[in-house]
Amino acid sequence: MAVTVTSVNPNQTIQAPALSIYSGVVECVFRSGNDSVTRDTLSFVLPNPRISLVFQPIQASSVVSVASFGFDGPAGNPLWAVDRTSVNTINEDRGTGTAELQVFADLAIRGQNAFIVRVNYSVYVRQ
């Protein structure tokens, strides 16, 4: 089953010299279809702010973790995991010199009745 994003809820951005930290919670729906491991990629665009494209290449990294998960019914050997994350720029505007950030997280789940409904994210951008 595919991962469906229902909302992206950002926290306050933290600004430090040459570093911006974006964090929040993504509400999503990812259900396991059987007792084998099911994998899919969650992707979402950070709603704000647009980042500067002055420094190239963009230096950014992301961390995503499962925040809310469970199962409906009996669970035998369930699994909930984030295998890998990455972040890229999209919707680049050379006129303003800015872009949006898109985050990717490879999720894994196992168990006939297992599900993930929220993940936490942190994105670090050197600017």
Share of the chain above pLDDT 90, in %: 72
DSSP letter (8 states) at residue 50: P
Query: What pLDDT is attached to residue 34?
Result: 80
Which residue range forms the structural domain that includes residue 113? 4-126
- The tens digit of pLDDT for each residue in 56-80 reads 888 999 999 999 999 887 777 889 9
- The tens digit of pLDDT for each residue in 34-61 reads 888 999 999 999 988 889 888 888 899 9
Closest by CA to 66, choosing from 103, 121, 104, 112, is 121
> What is the number of helices (H) and of strands (E) in the chain?
0, 9
d(CA 85, CA 65) in angstroms, rounded, equals 10
d(CA 112, CA 76) in angstroms, rounded, equals 8
Query: What pLDDT is attached to residue 27?
Result: 98
pTM of the model: 0.91
Give the chain's domain count: 1
Say yes or no to pLDDT of 2 above 70. Answer: yes
- The tens digit of pLDDT for each residue in 14-30 reads 989 989 999 999 999 99
Say yes or no to pLDDT of 1 above 80. Answer: no
Query: What pLDDT is attached to residue 64?
Result: 98
